[in-house]
Structure 1
Amino acid sequence: MGHKGAYQKPPQKRLFVALMGVTCLLVVGLIYLGWYIPTMGLANIHPDLPRVVGMLFAVLSGIAVLGTALLVLTTALGKDILGTKFMRGVVIKFLLPLIEQIGKLCGISKDTIRQSFVAMNNSLVVSQRLKINADRILILLPHCLQLAECEIKVTGEIDKCLRCGRCDIMGLADLARKYKVDISVATGGTLARKVIIEKRPKLVLAVACERDLTSGIKDCYPLPVIGVLNDRPFGPCFNTRVDVDKIDAALRSVLA
């Protein structure tokens, strides 16, 4: 335990921001083409129609550019400039699928983009400067954090942990007890959603791989989720690790 050198470097949001800028330019380009191509036909209907439609498309382009600029400023300054909650929705529902496709064309793996997306999402959540009571925060963990050889299964009841220290469950259970925060271990997305519905938290601090974190953030919106990527020294879904200090820091940033 505590071998910090074994943990992967934290994901950077710069990649997602850069791809977001490329996406914005593509959207503006498509809006322009949508105006330019039918312009001649519109002029035949009425001489002023191309100008009116052009103004409409200019407004849409302006919204796209302004939205991208606000997102970049929000993440850069760490402050809720204007409607961060709404902008998170735009990123999650609209930009992420587009950016994944653009990344694919550029030869960037989905996991790399998802890592950057999680960092971007965390930055937007933190920028809201939320202060939440401990009893309304939920720490959600994947079952693969527990040592596979352990005979005591902590799914659904982490206090069963014998505190042997051979996996990170002990440190996380102690952390939850220290701050009096709810903590649950889930075996999959279905159980995780069930736990969230039952406990009705105001914020979720989730540990998982890139795919599960991205899926969880999308499923939980508008509920704020701070994601922490696990480390997989033995491959996916088997004896994974997480830096407990990262969870501690994330908790302290949102606790009232």
Structure 2
Amino acid sequence: MKQVHSIRRARKRLFIGLITGTCFTVCLLLFTLWLIPYVGLENIHPSASWILGLIVLALVGSVSVAYWSLFFSIVTKQSLPGARRSRGLTIKFFMPLMVLLGKALGIKKESVMLSFISVNNEMVQMEAGRYKPEEILLLMPHCLQNSKCDHRLTYDINNCSRCGKCPIASLLELHDKYGVNLAVATGGTIARRIVVQMRPRMIIAVACYRDLATGIQDTYPLPVYGVLNERPHGPCLDTTVAPFLLEEALQRFLKEEYLAGKHPGIGKMISTAQGTQL
């Protein structure tokens, strides 16, 4: 557990460092946008440069407010006013710039995305409420199934014999115990279709770092809590996930009256068989 907390702290520090650098760079570029044409704008109209300056200043102020709101939320672990919008700005705007900045600084894209997922999870934990089982979707990649299994789960997950050779049996147990929705998607497009069809209010997703980061971006503003799968045999082959991590997330996001597991069978189970891993 100490090692896990240490990794989380390292990822959080990396995220804070990158988003600080990104915010500073954006503000610098905005000031430069005003400074460069300053002399030329005066020839158009005496007040043109000042009007542009006010616009740039407003943009810099917006970026700065969003940054500090996010920064203090991360540091204090409390959802501050504007933190939800800051998370959206980070997901849609800052994240791509952070990847570029990280690349320029020689930081691997994987490290940047892992830091993003870690901070996103903390923000979701702070902002999200508690939900009924039918409002939560457990979204899993098909690569969790044992590649040597003879049962076709891509069309009907109930075909699982629950032999315990892959994590699917444990996922079915969580579905039975808490009544949450369970879906197995074989591609990002299929995953998005499932989300549209089921209309969950909360998603707990399992995938690799790349697909989790993409999924979080694609489904915003829907809260997505990401759990990394383990890849002992490489990507997309016989991956695993620790069931207790998913149960911990369910304990956090389910309403109190459903935590005793007294409402089984509420959720649905969906399998699909197209595309690539989420």
Q: With the length of structure 2 as denominator, give the TM-score of the two structures.
A: 0.83
Give the 3-state SS of the residue equivalent to 2:150 in structure 1. Answer: coil
Which one-letter code corresponds to 1:113 in the other structure? Answer: V
1:84 aligned partner: 83
1:250 aligned partner: 249
Alpha-carbon distance in structure 1 between the residues aligned to 2:211 and 2:155: 18
Q: Contact (CA 8 Å) 2:137, 2:203: kept in 1 or not?
A: yes
Task: Quote the offset at 1:122 in angstroms.
Answer: 1.3
Q: Please give the root-mean-square deviation of Cα atoms over the aligned residues, in Å.
A: 2.2
Gaps of 5+ in 1: none
Which one-letter code corresponds to 1:162 in the other structure? Answer: S
Residue 133 of structure 2 is aligned to residue 134 of structure 1: yes
Alpha-carbon distance in structure 1 between the residues aligned to 2:153 and 2:176: 15
Alpha-carbon distance in structure 1 between the residues aligned to 2:155 and 2:12: 33
1:206 aligned partner: 205
2:40 aligned partner: 41
Post-superposition CA distance 1:197-248 (Å, at most 9, x none): 2211111111001121122112211211111111101100001111111111
Which one-letter code corresponds to 1:31 in the other structure? Answer: L
Alpha-carbon distance in structure 1 between the residues aligned to 2:155 and 2:18: 39
Post-superposition CA distance 1:123-143 (Å, at most 9, x none): 221111411111110101111
**Paired positions, count:** 251
Q: Contact (CA 8 Å) 1:155, 1:184: kept in 2 or not?
A: no
Q: With the length of structure 1 as denominator, give the TM-score of the two structures.
A: 0.90
Alpha-carbon distance in structure 2 between the residues aligned to 1:204 and 1:224: 6
Alpha-carbon distance in structure 1 between the residues aligned to 2:197 and 2:128: 25
2:56 aligned partner: 57
Residue 146 of structure 2 is aligned to residue 147 of structure 1: yes
Alpha-carbon distance in structure 2 between the residues aligned to 1:31 and 1:192: 37
Task: Quote the offset at 1:102 in angstroms.
Answer: 0.9
1:69 aligned partner: 68
Which one-letter code corresponds to 2:157 in the other structure? Answer: I
Give the 3-state SS of the residue equivalent to 1:12 in structure 2. Answer: helix
Give the 3-state SS of the residue equivalent to 1:219 in structure 2. Answer: helix
Q: Contact (CA 8 Å) 2:143, 2:239: kept in 1 or not?
A: yes
Task: Quote the offset at 1:46 in angstroms.
Answer: 4.5
Alpha-carbon distance in structure 1 between the residues aligned to 2:180 and 2:115: 27
